[in-house]
Structure 1
């Protein structure tokens, strides 16, 4: 039986988000410190290596990816030009016409007749003077790196006159030229002209000028600029520093492309994977559903170029050695917005999209969609094993669409694992408790392999809910905690902080997820990325600007759990009870049959240092030393571009025999690893 959700506060003033009113961090910290006077400073803990409770799945810790907060265009996707094909609502959004006073220069958006790339720009230059051209502002500027070659390309054709070349300049924030290039050979036929140049200076707020040499009429499209230091050196690829942060987490899965972005504000704006594959200039630019969602952070320039589409998502999952987990639209727009439904007798195209996606991921090169994958550079299948049907849907309308979609998938691909939803966090959507209870009644009948639950709550809730899954049915569907994050102020409040209190509280909660590995098989924090000057939602796992990125305390918690997962959950108790918050202490233990390590993770949420006395059963003796990783800080501590106030510290600790003591600092998370010759059976 699903637990009843607790009411957490007042509604947030937006159609999508409802705010949870909570006390401030300082008050919570004061209460925590006040309680330490009665908190024992010593705990006696028993670990039994021989008592395996459950396997911990390789997918236990993964990544939720949604294009929110300029996570892709302006973020992971290394393209530096905004609105490169003039497809935004305003064709010149992001561009400025450059010309001398009084010169006759006009820009005319033209229609190609191609529904996949409908616009190009016609430049009419009546008199050149000292220069006529266009400036592109990039995504809150362009991040340009000294001594790194940058590749420029443009689709261009001459229409009349003698425009014969285009000169390219990169300028710094003071309009000083820091790189120059030139393309020649404009003809009356469309062609792609390319050049490369190396900036003389690093600049986070650069702009790009393109100057036309000559007079007449010229057409341009797909104006592009990429650095060459991309992930794995792939041309027109991904930002290497951001992908590396993901790779360092060693994720077990990659969920994409969201999130509410799957649903769209209405069905016309839903994510359609077929529009995101094939040639880059044939991918259908679409407004991002976060473009207009938040009054506190409007983003009228937020569109999706789909330079990162489903092929790139699958490729990224492969690079990360993570299971790909696509989520598909089930004929329902976001129920926080329009809630638009496709009629049931018109659902077939949505079903076919799901079947074709599986063929694209796994089909042979002799199939239509498998051939497209091969033509894009990957003849081998991606070996997709699971697919999500709907994101945060609820109500009988969801079940009516879910059932025929799943029946069709299972009929053709019976081995495919289905992920079903339970709506959003029950505390933040209308009639949440009743809606979730209704869906669980359905899932107990329909038996999807996995059910996805979401939690956006205050730090207290995360600390108090480490036992959330203790009573879930072990014979029902497995659980995917697909979105969760501690909110320091309220759900999606612009004042939320990625501070140590939120991260520590999540760590306490995660021990409960891992301790219930028999039923919880996948978990992921959300959202993943945020541009420091382009975000809409907080908190977020990784923050970046045009040149740099930093990991939050929450990131370090996720990474410590993921990289110290273990393969088998084992018994750990204090006075015969699970460590799920008694006296502010949380813990879980596992063994790793691949490395031969015993792994103990423990979180001290009190303001008092503790001494943990361990007795380990099921082994003859322990080695003399182990490795201890510790995350700690003041509850209000945050990381930033200037440095990390909260990051793991590693040291050796004395172990030996079968009994030992380990210190647990106040407000800390620790991971103990002990290499062992015999981990028991």
Structure 2
């Protein structure tokens, strides 16, 4: 039983609880209501068209097995193990044999081929497994090609097969002896969709046939180019409207040693004449071995330039400066022997921009692009450090600037955003009046939140900054446990408001790495993940896309109590104006665990009745991720917001990134 005294006591406690609740809510309301000011009539530094771009490196099966749409692995038998990826199958022993031959004196860049001898009419096949299987789509047409030299009439029986051996597409290709090498082709349509199919090549007729460059491409490539790029992956890039694309890396530029470095001249010309090399990520991580990772260079420098042109991005090639990866061998070319490396740089500019009458401009024209690619910048080295880098930078800079003074050079500040290596290069290159300094940051999310004001203190008259590689690490660098979760993406968004606010110093920025195959990755996190048929953008991708597609043309002052918004009460922000659309663009990050209801005063805004457009990116949990099965779990939501006079009052949920566009 409860007596009257106890009832009165409980009522007093309830009233006290209600009072303190109101007091707490009042304080909470006061603590989260901010008064922000955007000065819409005071445009500041211009935002470069290159502000938000993409960084491509052939890591995580990003090229072969990824962006490059070739389905056959080791098509030219140039892997260290010449038959890696290929399997002989015969129901009767002795029906056929395969022999690897080498013609290095005749064709040093692609010396190996196979000789298949079929002794009887019984079944004998070679099967290629593809890159973690072959992604085959029902109704898609596939184009098979092979370079062959037959000594007797041989017929190829081609089949796409599911893992259990069922035929899901087939064709017949007769190979007739002509006394010379020739290219034969046939096309056929798949009947079934399969994520992990393989290609089976059966042989009919008796005799021997030499085979090389065995290839299979889907008809549906980017822009329907034969032997082209995977359309869904390029579309994800095009949708970002990037200002530049940096290629081909990354550490593959350096190589584990100089013999393994990226040499652009070996990646252009006819595809069958390009020299395959091992990918340096093949053996880089013992915890993620990838013994079948090589570079065919079907995606070479011509294709990179073409891709940049296709998606409206400026090309930013990075070249080896005579230094191998300092995390591996630290091999360097002596300065007296560095001329071939410098000549490669000069010849690349000619390849990109030269008249068709020049040697390298003529090659570009012969490859189908008579007009120049309008190269404006290039990188000298990737992630080098120390006096040896400065010594080589001086030589490169002198030679390139003497012949092409308008080309801007991107220069390394090492692998870290601070410390002895960074300080040395930052100080030295500034004294040398370098054009662009490339800074890299792979850190925990807290680092990105704490460094949103990093560039507020930079010299406005010094070199431009390229935030060339950055990604928040949910665990630690090189950990297999890193995830592209919302906590990381939100921290990157906060940091990016600081990059944008300092557009007079920061001219370019790109997340890294770009691509990762879900069954063949070495490094995480990554911006875009894919399997053999599907792909998706991570929460980080949507942050990048929102910034790039809402860039604006000049920065505007956005302040709280007269100071930039750099984390006060968990709020980060930047503002720009778009002179083409006459819109004010505000980007706000609420990194706090509480909702925020800031009042934004738009000073000197013309009176408008048009509601603001709002894109909101948020998630139910900081650990939220996207996936192949749920690719849009964390993706932008589109709403509108009324404008009251010159004021906006958005409600920012906890852990939210918002982009607001207002007609001016």
Q: Identify the TM-score tier after normalising by the shorter chain.
A: over 0.9
Is there any run of 5+ residues in structure 1 with no aligned partner, and where?
A: 1-35, 427-431, 677-681
Conserved? CA contact 2:385–2:425, under 8 Å: yes
Quote the offset at 1:443 in angstroms: 1.1
Take 2:245 and 2:516, find their aligned partners in 1: how far apart are those partners? 17
Structure 1 window deviating more from structure 2 (433-442 vs 225-234): it is 433-442
The answer as to 2:547 corresponding to 1:556 is no
| Alignment-derived partner of residue 119 in structure 1 | 112
Conserved? CA contact 2:150–2:175, under 8 Å: no
| Alignment-derived partner of residue 227 in structure 1 | 218
Take 1:183 and 1:554, find their aligned partners in 2: how far apart are those partners? 46
| Alignment-derived partner of residue 637 in structure 1 | 624
What do the CA deviations read for 1:11-51 (whole angstroms, capped 9, x no partner)? xxxxxxxxxxxxxxxxxxxxxxxxx9799221110110111
| Alignment-derived partner of residue 247 in structure 1 | 238
Cα RMSD (Å) of the superposition? 1.2
Shift of the 556–531 alpha-carbon distance from structure 1 to 2, 3 Å rule, reads same
The answer as to 2:209 corresponding to 1:218 is yes
3-state SS, counterpart of residue 455 of structure 2: coil
3-state SS, counterpart of residue 34 of structure 2: strand
Match of 1:489 among 475, 496, 505: 475
Quote the offset at 1:173 in angstroms: 2.0
3-state SS, counterpart of residue 86 of structure 1: coil
Quote the offset at 1:124 in angstroms: 2.2
What do the CA deviations read for 1:43-101 (whole angstroms, capped 9, x no partner)? 11011011122111111000000000000100001000000000000000000012124
The answer as to 2:604 corresponding to 1:612 is no
| Alignment-derived partner of residue 158 in structure 2 | 168
1:292-371 correspondence runs (5 A): 292-371=283-362
Conserved? CA contact 1:621–1:657, under 8 Å: yes
What do the CA deviations read for 1:509-556 (whole angstroms, capped 9, x no partner)? 000111111100000000000000000000000000000001100000
| Alignment-derived partner of residue 16 in structure 1 | none
| Alignment-derived partner of residue 660 in structure 1 | 648
| Alignment-derived partner of residue 132 in structure 1 | 124
Quote the offset at 1:449 in angstroms: 1.2
Conserved? CA contact 2:153–2:175, under 8 Å: no
Conserved? CA contact 1:168–1:182, under 8 Å: yes
Quote the offset at 1:437 in angstroms: 1.1
Match of 2:404 among 413, 429, 437: 413
Structure 1 window deviating more from structure 2 (111-120 vs 365-374): it is 111-120
Q: Which has the larger radius of gyration?
A: 2
The answer as to 2:533 corresponding to 1:547 is yes
3-state SS, counterpart of residue 398 of structure 1: helix
Is there any run of 5+ residues in structure 2 with no aligned partner, and where?
A: 1-26
Quote the offset at 1:311 in angstroms: 0.2
| Alignment-derived partner of residue 650 in structure 1 | 638
1:150-299 correspondence runs (5 A): 150-159=142-151, 162-187=152-177, 188-299=179-290
Conserved? CA contact 1:103–1:128, under 8 Å: no
Quote the offset at 1:296 in angstroms: 1.1
Take 2:470 and 2:342, find their aligned partners in 1: how far apart are those partners? 29
Quote the offset at 1:399 in angstroms: 1.0
Quote the offset at 1:611 in angstroms: 0.5
| Alignment-derived partner of residue 566 in structure 1 | 552
| Alignment-derived partner of residue 55 in structure 1 | 46
Take 2:153 and 2:360, find their aligned partners in 1: how far apart are those partners? 42
Q: Specify which structure has the bigger relative contact order, considering alpha-carbon pairs within 8 angstroms and separated by 6 or more residues.
A: 1
Q: How many residues align?
A: 633
Quote the offset at 1:104 in angstroms: 4.4
Conserved? CA contact 2:260–2:278, under 8 Å: yes
The answer as to 2:435 corresponding to 1:445 is no
Take 2:273 and 2:357, find their aligned partners in 1: how far apart are those partners? 23
Conserved? CA contact 1:166–1:183, under 8 Å: yes
3-state SS, counterpart of residue 519 of structure 2: coil
3-state SS, counterpart of residue 50 of structure 1: coil
Conserved? CA contact 1:623–1:674, under 8 Å: no
What do the CA deviations read for 1:335-379 (whole angstroms, capped 9, x no partner)? 000010011111000000000000000000010000000000000
What is the TM-score with the length of structure 1 in the denominator? 0.92
| Alignment-derived partner of residue 466 in structure 1 | 452
Conserved? CA contact 2:96–2:119, under 8 Å: yes
Match of 2:138 among 142, 146, 157: 146
Take 1:319 and 1:362, find their aligned partners in 2: how far apart are those partners? 17
| Alignment-derived partner of residue 495 in structure 2 | 509
Quote the offset at 1:115 in angstroms: 1.1
What do the CA deviations read for 1:171-211 (whole angstroms, capped 9, x no partner)? 01221001011111421321111000000011110000011
What is the TM-score with the length of structure 2 in the denominator? 0.94
Take 1:554 and 1:155, find their aligned partners in 2: how far apart are those partners? 43
What do the CA deviations read for 1:213-263 (whole angstroms, capped 9, x no partner)? 112221100000000010011111001100000000000000000000100
Shift of the 39–433 alpha-carbon distance from structure 1 to 2, 3 Å rule, reads farther
